[in-house]
Amino acid sequence: MLIMKKIYLYPNSHAGYYPGAKYLAMKILFRKSDSRILGAQAVGQDGADKRIDAIAVVLQMGGTIYDLEEAELCYAPQFGSAKSPINFAGMVAADVLSGDLPLTHWNSEPSALLLDVRHPAELAVEQVPGVVNIPLDQLRARLDELPRDREIHVICRSGQRAYYATRILVQNGLDARVVSGGMMSHAILERV
């Protein structure tokens, strides 16, 4: 039986400190058993095509997510960052396979508690009804507010703060998972 994994990520098209960086929306599919890349999608105003071209070459060669993680790609601030979205995708996928990034997806477990670790001002812009909000910088002090007998799905804007929060929760004995792509994935799924 083929067990496929998927990740969503939203890196910048080029170095963020260089003017004009735009988000790329990327989805990477890979096989759990041998980490081989099965497919990818990318959408964005700048650079999506070159990321898909690079992934397509690795896929054609029977490559794995570890090949993405270690790929040596061109770096120039106006065209790409030192850590390319390709490398970033490989690193995220590798963390999923190693167990360092327990991952879930929107609507995968309706009984899970949804924990939003963004700041209250961000919730004024977008939020999901019924979430518990504990900002990441308050999480360690408020662990006793979370259930120990229920799975916790952690969200933020794109997944980075949710990753840090999930590491804190797991290290403190809670069953937590990052919702892949965070609110950015939720916004895309609502449009589909």
Tokens of 134: 């504990």
Whether residues 25 and 81 fall in one domain: yes
CATH of the domain at 145: 3.40.250.10
Whether residues 53 and 118 fall in one domain: no
Whether residues 56 and 83 fall in one domain: yes
Given this model, what pLDDT does residue 108 score?
Answer: 85
pLDDT tens digits for range 124-170: 999 898 899 999 999 999 999 999 999 999 999 999 999 999 999 99
pLDDT tens digits for range 63-72: 999 999 999 9
Whether residues 48 and 86 fall in one domain: yes
Whether residues 111 and 68 fall in one domain: no
What mean pLDDT is predicted for residues 84-108?
Answer: 94
Whether residues 183 and 107 fall in one domain: yes
With bands split at pLDDT 50, 70 and 90, how would you rate the model's confidence at 1? Answer: low
Whether residues 35 and 115 fall in one domain: no
3-state secondary structure (DSSP) of residue 128: coil
Given this model, what pLDDT does residue 5 score?
Answer: 96
- The count of domains in the chain is 2
Q: Which of 54, 80, 98 is the last residue of a domain?
A: 98
Q: Which of 77, 98, 119 is the last residue of a domain?
A: 98
Given this model, what pLDDT does residue 80 score?
Answer: 78
Whether residues 94 and 163 fall in one domain: no
Q: Which of 98, 129, 161 is the last residue of a domain?
A: 98
Instruction: Specify which residues 8 forms β-bridges with.
Output: 27
pLDDT tens digits for range 8-38: 999 988 888 888 888 899 999 999 999 999 9
Whether residues 120 and 83 fall in one domain: no
Given this model, what pLDDT does residue 21 score?
Answer: 87
Whether residues 69 and 146 fall in one domain: no
Domain limits at 8? 4-98
| Cα 152 from Cα 177, distance rounded (Å) | 6
Whether residues 107 and 82 fall in one domain: no
Whether residues 68 and 126 fall in one domain: no
Complete DSSP assignment for 60-91: HTT-BHHHHHH-----BTTTB-SS-HHHHHHH
pLDDT tens digits for range 50-59: 999 999 999 9
Given this model, what pLDDT does residue 71 score?
Answer: 93
62 Cβ contact partners less than 8 Å away, ≥ 6 residues apart: 36
